[in-house]
Amino acid sequence: MQKTDYLQDISEIRSIMERSSRFISLSGLSGVMAGIYALIGAGLAHWCLTLYRAGGLGSYRTVAGYLFLIAGVVLLLAIGTGIWLTTRRAREQGQRIWDATARRLVVHLMIPLAVGGIFALILVGQGYTGIVAPSMLIFYGLALINASKYTLTDVMYLGLAEVALGLLATIVIGYGLLFWAIGFGGLHIVYGASMYYKYER
């Protein structure tokens, strides 16, 4: 046996461990797109709020309805684009899309995220609107940290950044939309682009 054989053995072992335990087809571009949708959404929300303060757009309930509609559309677009781009990437790499690693990733992402979503709805219902955006950032960050064990490690750093931003937003309450735009818009674009350059080029 040659030295190169052993080296090849080791690199094969490493590759199998990676492929069997982590979902690595996650597309960086989907992060960039999610960030762009979030920024557009934040811009629309800001416009709605400005109109409302100027006396247009009717009651508080109507405005809240518009804001929820914007948030919902942004979320759906981001998830849809994410699934589409990731599926495309997995196909290019010849990997299966919905395998055990993908399932594990989704489950570990969704548990903290669902709790955060319900928590945010309760906050809105109770009238604590000031801490809705910070708590969404914190829960989203924790969900990312939790899921990062099952995908690219870079996701953990994005999660830590979201949590830090969420805590900061809790200290300076009243700039919810701005922090929301930075966290879901800016950070997604930065991390998505860096992952794209690192893995997909």
Partner 1 sequence: MKHLLHQFDKAFENKVRLGIMSALVVNDSLDFNALKELLGVTDGNLASHLKALEKVAYIDVQKQFVGRKPNTQYAATKTGKKAFGAHLDALEALLKAQKQTQ
User: Rule CB under 8 A: which residues touch partner 1?
Assistant: 3, 6-7, 9-10, 12-13, 16-17, 19-21, 96, 99-100
Dihedral class, residue 13 (left if φ above 0, else alpha if ψ from -120 to 50, else beta): alpha
Q: Is the separation of the CB atoms in 86 and 27 below 8 Å?
A: yes
Least spacing, CB of residue 94 vs partner 1, in Å = 10
Q: Token pair of 173, please?
A: 């309450």
Q: Which is nearer to partner 1, 100 or 115 (CB)?
A: 100
Q: Which is nearer to partner 1, 20 or 50 (CB)?
A: 20
Q: At what angle do helices 28-53 and 187-199 cross, to 10 degrees?
A: 170
To partner 1, the closest distance from the beta carbon of 15 in angstroms equals: 9
Count the Cβ atoms, other than its own, within 10 Å of residue 189. 18
Complex with partner 1: residue 88 or 104, whichever CB lies closer:
104
| Cβ contacts of 46 within 8 Å, gap of 6 or more | 177
Minimum CB separation of residue 98 from partner 1 in Å reads 12
Least separation in angstroms between CB 3 and partner 1? 5
Residue closer to partner 1 by CB (options 79, 107) is 107
Please report how close the Cβ of residue 25 comes to partner 1 at its closest, in angstroms.
Answer: 14
Of 52 and 150, which has the nearer Cβ to partner 1? 150
Which residues neighbour 107 within 8 Å (Cβ) at sequence distance 6 or greater?
A: none
C-alpha closest to that of 27 among 104, 102, 89, 95: 89
- In the DSSP assignment, the letter for residue 57 is S
